[in-house]
Amino acid sequence: MTTENNLPEPVELGKVLVTGGAGFLGKNLARELLNRGHQVRVFDLAECDLEHPDLEKIQGNICDKTLVTKVCEGIDTVFHTAAVIEIRSTKVVSQQVKKLSYDINLGGTQNIIDACLTQGVKRLVYTSSSALELRYYGRLRSLFLKLIKHFQCNF
């Protein structure tokens, strides 16, 4: 159904999880969702300084598959904003930082997708940045094709 302006009706988000909820994008998104009356759970390695009666905060690592699965329990919508963003040239980034970026940006995203599928999450909104290295693009693309195929087959 559409509105008078031919825009789609807003989607009911249900209970929302924001990964990276202590970061700039995640915290501002969580604040806006709370202001709009949503129940929000934030999940981040860092401590989130937001306070609100409808806010649940969980600290942890998206590389912990078991924890990610628990965090997604009872969630209807996931906004995945957690990431490691390296703003320096890839020529000066250490192998340690590159590994961390790979583990979180790809491995963590895989854990989020798997947890959404396991827990029956209705929608996943993924964010990225231009800092994503092209060599990771193919793997990310295959992760999202897997997710799309699942939803086409099951809903």
- Percentage of the chain beyond pLDDT 90 is 52
CA distances from 41 to 31, 74, 118, 145 (A): 11, 10, 18, 26
Gap between the Cα atoms of 77 and 68, Å rounded: 14
Span 56-69, average pLDDT: 97
Q: Which residue has the higher pLDDT, 71 or 9?
A: 71
Q: Report CA 30 to chain centroid distance, whole Å.
A: 12
pLDDT confidence of residue 35: 95
Report the predicted TM-score, pTM, of the whole model to 2 decimal places. Answer: 0.80
pLDDT tens digit sequence for 100-141: 777 888 889 889 989 999 999 999 988 876 555 555 556 666
In angstroms, the CA 125 to CA 78 distance is: 6
What sign does the CA torsion over 124, 137, 118, 150 have? positive
CATH number for region 16-154: 3.40.50.720
pLDDT at 76 over 90: yes
Highest mean pLDDT among 58-67, 76-85, 87-96: 58-67
Query: CA geometry: angle at 143 spanning 136 and 70, to 5°?
Result: 115
